Structures are given as C-alpha cells and as structure tokens.
Homo-oligomer: A and B are copies of this chain.
C-alpha cells in the first residue's frame, strides 16, 4: 500500500512525485495513459508504482495532479473510494485562452467545487497551485525552498498535508479555510499572466511565489 496516491502523469504529477519520493514516501501513480504512467514510475524509481483509472487509490492522501475539469471527473468517478481520504486539489482555474479570467464563477473556487463532490468523510485541501512544475521538482528557486500555500476546512487534513510538504523540503503555509482557495487561484491570473507576457521574457514558468522571510 502506497503512502500517497497521485492521480495524473504530467509535469505536476512528476514534480510532486519527485518531492514525495525524496521524502521517502511511497507513491502510487494513477494515470489514464499506461505508457506515460509507466514512464513516470520508472523515472521516479524505487517507491513508485503504477495503477490505472479503475484501480482504487491506496494512499491516505490523494493528490489530483490534473487540470481542474479532470479533477472534478476523477472525484466523481472515484466517489465512495475517496471515503476517509485527504484529497489535495492543486489545479488552477485560469482560462488558458487569455490568462485574463477564471473558468469558474465569482464566489467559489475550483477547490470548493471539488470538495462539494466528495464523500462526507473525506477532506479536501488546496495546495501547490502557486508552484510551477519546474521549480517544484527542484524544490527550490536558488537557495530558497518553495512556499506551498495550503487552505482547507479540516485542521487535521491540513496538518497531514503540511507534514508531507515539509518532509519534502518545502515550506507549508496554512493560509486558513478552504475559501481562501478563491484568492490562491485568482492570484494566478497575475502570476501566470507574467509567464506568458512577452514584456517579461525572464519569467518563463520558472518562478516561485515566496513570502519572505
């Protein structure tokens, strides 16, 4: 049984997988594409195993390393299999066609949309959405460990996620209730907007949002 399940096999799954394996957690990678999933498991090495969409999530912590719409689909299809789990929503809700608006209405967040679909005894935690895959895989920008802003309504779930984040060499910052995910997600209009803005060629998905010191 793996400690942590990561659903997804893309850049963010890889980055989070590297962090988790480096902190000596065992990781189950659940991917839609068996070839890509297997390649990621081989890249991660000892401690990583592959599973497919139909398999039950093994980890007590289930990280949805997916675009928001896919995260909602997975929560719906796992349904009762997420009972008792801590589910981590990392997705952003910035419209990638213009980086100028969100894909969700005012007054909610992607994280809250996902939380509403969970079994009653599962807890959702927002984390990692301000981290880009490149710096996250390295764990730092320069000599500064990445900050991971964490929001959620279950203190126990946030403590579990914070412990895993800290063990992987990052700095967890509990920013409060799950509704703070609204601001964590919306601020990525600013941060992602900078990455794609030709005026800022030095920002290229390699930045890290830090609260100093």
Contacts and interface: CB of A to CB of B under 8 A. Distances in A.
Interface of A: 106-107, 141-142, 144, 149, 173-176, 180, 182-184, 186-187, 189-191, 193-194, 197, 199-200, 203, 206-213
A186 B186 CA distance: 8
A183 B186 contact: yes
B183 A211 contact: no
A180 to B, nearest CB: 6
Contacts of A144: 212
Contacts of A107: 106
A187 B190 CA distance: 10
Contact of A193 (B176, B197, B209, B213): B176
A107 B107 CA distance: 10
Contacts of A212: 141-142, 144, 207-210
A40 to B, nearest CB: 27
A143 to B, nearest CB: 10
B194 A183 contact: no
A193 B208 contact: no
Contacts of A208: 211-213
A135 to B, nearest CB: 8
B142 A190 contact: no
Contact of A142 (B187, B207, B213): B213
A211 B191 CA distance: 8
Given A183-B186, A207-B212, 13 more contacts: A141-B213, A173-B194, A174-B199, A176-B190, A176-B193, A180-B190, A180-B193, A183-B187, A186-B186, A187-B187, A209-B209, A210-B210, A210-B212
